[in-house]
Amino acid sequence: MKTSQTHTPHFRPHLARRVAAEFVGTALLVTVVVGSGIAAQQLSPRDVGLQLLENSIATALGLAVLILMLGPASGAHFNPVVSLVDWLIGRRTKTGLPTRDLAPYLLAQIGGSITGTLLAGIMFDTAPAFSTTVRASGGHLVGEVVATAGLVLLIFALAHTGKGHVTAAAVGVYIGAAYWFTSSTSFANPAVTIARMFTDTFAGIAPASVAPFILAQLLGGALGLGLLFVFYPAATHTARDVVVTHPVKAH
């Protein structure tokens, strides 16, 4: 069965279409994160715990919906770490994100994420401003390593074990849970981290905390990749199915 899976032709939509999907998907993801954070802050101004609950539920549900909506178009990475790992593990078998597609994906994700922050601010009549929320303590950085490692391991393990049909729900649930079990509230995404420094609201992160967070996320991605190869050494053959399986080409 592995041989059949390896040689089955897969169809990838045109690069422009995939990049547009990554831009829109990441923009909407950040709109959900920042917008629900602003709404939570306004609706529950005296209860930070309730704010986090409202923010995490909206993010978990929104992420799952976006993966279902745009996954068939681009794979629904919405995250530079996911794209980098997908590109890296597919080098040997030519099944991951092609090298020529990597930079467009990353630029679309970063540009989309910043657009999402601005869109959320417009909807809630909140002007863009650099965040004053400092998050780069040792505990926060460890939290980002853990959150990102778990996310990478989850996504690529599901692809390898043929459970891609539950990825949307599983990733949404994982991120929603990681809001609570990590001290950093699980950014786990360099593009989202960059974008959230432009909002001085509940979801913001101070510019000085951005670089340490991104380094922690990259380290977490490497850790998740290492764990993936420990548990699933043949995972390189299914890189093409991250995050959502690409449709099979009709004959």
Q: Which domains does the chain have, with CATH numbers?
A: 13-241 (1.20.1080.10)
pLDDT of residue 251: 35
Q: Which two tokens stand for residue 139?
A: 């505990």
Rounded to whole angstroms, the Cα distance separating 163 from 115 reads: 32
Q: What DSSP character marks residue 248? A: B
Coil, strand or helix: which one is 233? coil
pLDDT band with cut points at 50, 70 and 90 for residue 245: low
pLDDT of residue 10: 53
pLDDT band with cut points at 50, 70 and 90 for residue 13: confident
Dihedral angle sign, alpha carbons of residues 24, 212, 173, 102: positive
110 and 191 in contact (C-beta within 8 Å)?
yes
37 and 179 in contact (C-beta within 8 Å)?
no
Hunting for tokens 């764990």 — which residue is that?
Answer: 227
Instruction: Examine the pLDDT at 236 and tell me if it is beyond 60.
Output: yes
H-type alpha helices, the chain:
2-7, 15-43, 48-74, 80-89, 99-123, 138-160, 167-181, 190-196, 207-231
Render pLDDT for 187-198 as a digit per residue (tens, 0 to 9): 999 999 999 999
Render pLDDT for 85-103 as a digit per residue (tens, 0 to 9): 999 998 877 788 999 999 9
**In the beta sheet, which residues pair with residue 248?**
10
pLDDT of residue 240: 67
**Which amino acid is present at 98?**
P
pLDDT band with cut points at 50, 70 and 90 for residue 9: very low
